[in-house]
Each structure stands twice: as structure tokens, then as C-alpha cells.
Amino acid sequence: MVAGGAIAYLEIRKADALAFGLAVSTSQALRVHVAQGGEPHTEPLNAALAPLLKQGYVHARVSNRLGDMLAEANSANHAALLARLAKREHVPESLVAGGHRTLWLPSELVVQVSIPLHDRNGNTIGSFSGAYQVDAAVRQRVLSDLARNVSMVLLAILLTTLVLYPVIIGLNKGVTQLSAELMGSNIALMEVLGSAIAKRDSDTDLHNYRVCLYSIRFAEALGLADQTIRVVIAGAFLHDVGKIGISDTILLKPGRLTAEEFSVMKSHVQLGIDIVTKSNWLNGARNVIEFHHERFDGSGYPHGLRGESIPMVARLFAIVDVFDALTSRRPYKQPVPLQDAVRILAESRGSHFDPRLLDVFQDMAVELHAELAGLAEAGLRQKLQQQVTKYFLESFGEGVSSLRGA
């Protein structure tokens, strides 16, 4: 392949050298006639150009230093080629200053040549330019070499592809499997942490499963992007993970907390942030963990944020968290009837909750409650596995199909 390319290159260079050599040789005679004073010696110039037409040139021209033509010779047998050359773009400055270039025309290979003419003192007095037609046999040989080289390159690419493709596919499959396993491990870690506090708070995972499912359906109804829904899922799992650092006497107290106890309870937000920031993946839940106790009117904690300065995922989750807390049983409380829970939410419209989001949730609250509130842990877990697979695992194929490989 390299040898063929070198041969093609050498053939073109030979044609260049021949055309340029003829021009240089002719320029010696041209210089004498152009350099003489008085009127240009047109006849001697034409006589000097004529032999070039028998040696492969189809066009030759002599100009004075201002660019005005002094003499010109054109091959009568190449009128069509001359017409095509006349339509070509202007000659580049590098060629005007002296040199040559190769032109590949539809059926011709042409070398354009330009040589400045100097007097004995080195002053530019004019220029010679011409077009040399490369022999048809040479042109065909060059084309054949190029075609052979291209074919060999394509064949080499094809063979390399056939050899390497199975290897690449195998490596890609391995990377995909590892990515799926890593994602599965991250999801398992997320579930374990969420379950640890859920079991302390209510003896089961039911609250976490329900708020996850409520949040997903709510986010879908709002038309949120898949990436945002993944944040919602992680946040729902881990929203109260910081409560793992709160004592049972406060966490499970059946009555109202004192001001001091409530101050301790509020510290679970910072504890949760401290836990998830140790993992880049779990840190995606931070917006829910840190801001879901903020209130739309600015009366929440820990930052007292107001309105839409509270992240969307936190405003969304605050609604479903309170809704499930009201409608579910805890060791220290009985569930509130559904209609009373909806009324309590409505009473906090614009104070605790984002009015726009609350309107959307209230339209779907009764249906969601009917679908999910009565399900046992196994049923909720199955539904949640389907959603986690949809939003986290489907892009990885069959590598991981459940929260913990179950």
C-alpha cells in the first residue's frame, strides 16, 4: 500500500519536473527578448514558445512585469481543455511568484507552471506561465495506483473490524455488566440506609415504599425529566436518614415534643447531609434531605427558604411526606381518614405547600391512596422494583433486576 502510494507520488513528481524543466529552459530565451529595450520582440517570443506545444504544453504565455501579455501560444487540438482551464479559479499567489501545481480535471491531469523572468541585474521584467498536459498513460497509471491503494486500505479496515469487533463487543458487555452491578450496589445501599431508619420510626419499610411511589407518580404527572425523577426516588428513600442519629426517646415519643426536643429533632437534617455527602452517588438525594422541611411561606427549617427558592424536588416531596404521615399508622399515632388528610393539606396551601403543586397532587391523591395505601410490604416492594428498574436499570439490560438482587 505504501509502495503503491509512493509510485503514484513519484509519477506525478516526474511530470511536474518535466513541465517545470521545459519552462525553465524556454525562459532563458524568453528573457533575452523581453529584456531588450523598445517594442517587445513578439515574433522571437512566439518562436520561442512554439516548441513547447510539441513537448506537452497546451498553453504558454509571456507577460511583462505589469502582467500585460507579450506573446501567447495555444494548442489548436486542445480547445476544450483550454476552455476548462480558463474557467478555473485565479492562480494562487504562490504560483504567481513562481512554481507549479497539479490540477485533476475530469479527464485530464494538468501541471500549471509559472516562472518570473529577470534581467541580468535580477530585476523582474516579466513572467512565463503555461499549462502542461500529463501523458494519458501516466495519468492512468497514477489513477490505477490510487484506486489500488484505496481498495487495500478499505480491505485492511474491513479485516481489522472483523477481527476486533468481537473483542470490542466483549469488552463493552463487560463494562456494561460492571456498570449495572455498580448501579445495583448503589441502589441496595440507598435502600438499606432508608430501611434502617424506617424500621426505627415505624417498624416497617412501608412509609419509604409509599412515599417513593407517591413521589414517582406525582413527578410523572408534573412532566418532570427522568433524571429529576431519579433524584426524587433517591431523596424519597433517604429523606429522613439523619434520624438514625436521634434517640428513641425523642424519635418515638407519642406526645408533642418540647422546644428542646424539637431542636434536637431538627438536627436530623444536618446529620442526613453529613451521611450522604460521603458518597457521590447518594449525594444526589441531598436536595430532598436538606430542604423537604422548608415551608413555602419561609417558616420552615433549616434555612427558612421561601417559595420557588426551595428546590422543586423538595417542594414535591414535602406534600407526599405529610400526606403519608397523616394517612398511615405509626407506633405513636393512628391514621387520619383520607378526606381529613386532604383537608389538612388544603389548609396549608400557600403556607406549608406550593399551591401549584398541591393542586396537582390533590387531583390524584384519592386514586393514589386507593391504589397503594392498602398494599402489604411485598406488594409495595414489587411495584417499587418496577419503577427503580424503569428509571435506573433498564439502560443496563438484564444485569440487575431488583433493588437488592432479590
Structural domain including 94 reads 2-134
**What CATH number did the domain enclosing 224 receive?**
1.10.3210.10
Residue 164 lies in a domain: no
Within 8 A by CB and 6+ apart from 376, the residues are none
Cα–Cα dist 253/249, whole Å: 6
pLDDT for 340 beyond 90 = yes
Q: Are residues 384 and 270 in the same domain?
A: yes
Give the pLDDT confidence of 141-159 residue by residue, as tens digits: 666 666 676 677 677 777 7
pLDDT for 318 beyond 90 = yes
Residue 174 lies in a domain: no
Provide the pLDDT for residue 275.
Answer: 87
Average pLDDT over residues 22-32: 63
Average pLDDT over residues 32-60: 73
Provide the pLDDT for residue 1.
Answer: 46
pLDDT for 7 beyond 70 = no
Residue 200 lies in a domain: yes
Cα–Cα dist 16/10, whole Å: 10
| Residues linked to residue 349 through DSSP beta bridges, in sequence order | 353
Its pTM surpasses 0.85: no
Decide which of 101, 134, 167 is a domain's last residue. Answer: 134
pLDDT for 180 beyond 60 = no
Cα–Cα dist 228/232, whole Å: 6
Give the pLDDT confidence of 79-106 residue by residue, as tens digits: 777 777 777 644 444 444 456 677 767 6
Residue 141 lies in a domain: no
pLDDT for 400 beyond 50 = no
Q: Are residues 65 and 122 in the same domain?
A: yes
Q: Which of 3-17, 215-229, 242-256 is the least confident region?
A: 3-17
Q: Are residues 117 and 185 in the same domain?
A: no
Average pLDDT over residues 350-375: 94
Provide the pLDDT for residue 66.
Answer: 81
User: What band does 38 get if pLDDT is binned at 50, 70 and 90?
Assistant: very low
Query: Backbone dihedral region of 298: left (phi > 0), alpha (psi from -120 to 50 degrees) or beta?
Result: left
Residue 168 lies in a domain: no
Give the pLDDT confidence of 128-144 residue by residue, as tens digits: 888 877 777 766 666 66
Residue 149 lies in a domain: no
Report for 66-70, 122-126, 303-307: range of highest mean pLDDT: 303-307
Residue 163 lies in a domain: no
Cα–Cα dist 338/357, whole Å: 19
Q: Are residues 76 and 197 in the same domain?
A: no
Provide the pLDDT for residue 33.
Answer: 66
pLDDT for 127 beyond 80 = yes
User: What band does 388 get if pLDDT is binned at 50, 70 and 90?
Assistant: confident
Provide the pLDDT for residue 54.
Answer: 81
Q: Are residues 269 and 335 in the same domain?
A: yes
Q: Which of 56-65, 86-95, 192-201 is the least confident region?
A: 86-95
Q: Are residues 216 and 113 in the same domain?
A: no
User: What band does 63 get if pLDDT is binned at 50, 70 and 90?
Assistant: confident
Decide which of 134, 166, 198 is a domain's last residue. Answer: 134
Q: Are residues 54 and 188 in the same domain?
A: no
* Exposure string for 180-217, b = 16+ CB within 10 A, e = fewer: beebbebbbbbbebbbebbeebbebbbbbbbbbbbbbb
Share of the chain above pLDDT 90, in %: 28
Q: Are residues 127 and 202 in the same domain?
A: no
Q: Are residues 108 and 239 in the same domain?
A: no
The per-residue pLDDT of the chain, averaged, comes to 78
How far from 1 is each of 137, 139, 164, 248, CA to CA, in Å? 21, 19, 21, 79
Residue 172 lies in a domain: no
**What CATH number did the domain enclosing 114 receive?**
3.30.450.20
Q: Are residues 299 and 389 in the same domain?
A: yes
User: What band does 402 get if pLDDT is binned at 50, 70 and 90?
Assistant: very low
Decide which of 64, 99, 134 is a domain's last residue. Answer: 134
Number of compact structural domains in the chain? 2
- Selected residue with higher pLDDT from 234 and 162: 234
Within 8 A by CB and 6+ apart from 352, the residues are 295, 296, 297, 300, 318, 322
